[in-house]
């Protein structure tokens, strides 16, 4: 079963705009990871944020984590057409290594 929900399910923006995707989850976590998937291909790891961290940056990506609200957000700044993909959050559960995925946000960046 899915751990949480991602919002929105689909997002369409223009190149250069920022894209924000949100993820909510249900149980306590060890970490939260974000992935990108292009058209049913492989999952590319973007960033991992641990439960004791609140914010993390990687290039044009900014991830926040609010464990009190059981939510996370992924911000992609200055988006490019190449950012068009599905984005998934995945929670790493305490005491185990498995990831529980959300249903994903489909991002479309128009040139």
Partner 1 sequence: DSGVTQTPKHLITATGQRVTLRCSPRSGDLSVYWYQQSLDQGLQFLIQYYNGEERAKGNILERFSAQQFPDLHSELNLSSLELGDSALYFCASSALGGEQFFGPGTRLTVL
- The neighbouring-strand residues paired with 100 are 91
Asked if residue 32 lies in contact with residue 90, where contact means CB atoms within 8 angstroms, the answer is yes
Considering beta carbons, is residue 10 or 78 the nearer one to partner 1? 10
Identify which of residues 57 and 110 has a Cβ nearer to partner 1 in the complex. 57
Give the x/- contact pattern for partner 1 in 12-31, rule: CB under 8 A: ------------------xx
Q: Does 34 bind partner 1 (CB under 8 A)?
A: no
Check residue 28 and give left, alpha or beta (phi > 0: left; psi -120 to 50: alpha): beta
Does 103 bind partner 1 (CB under 8 A)? Our answer is yes
């Amino acid at each position: 079963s899915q751990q949480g929900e991602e919002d929105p399910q689909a997002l369409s923006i223009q190149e250069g705009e920022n894209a924000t995707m949100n993820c909510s989850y249900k149980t306590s976590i060890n970490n939260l990871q974000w992935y990108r998937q292009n058209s049913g291909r492989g999952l590319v790891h973007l960033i991992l944020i641990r439960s004791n961290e609140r914010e993390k940056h990687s290039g044009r990506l900014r991830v926040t984590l609010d464990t009190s609200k059981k939510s996370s957000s992924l911000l992609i700044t200055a988006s490019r057409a190449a950012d068009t993909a599905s984005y998934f959050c995945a929670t790493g559960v305490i005491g185990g290594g498995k990831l529980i995925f959300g249903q994903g946000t489909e991002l479309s960046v128009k040139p």
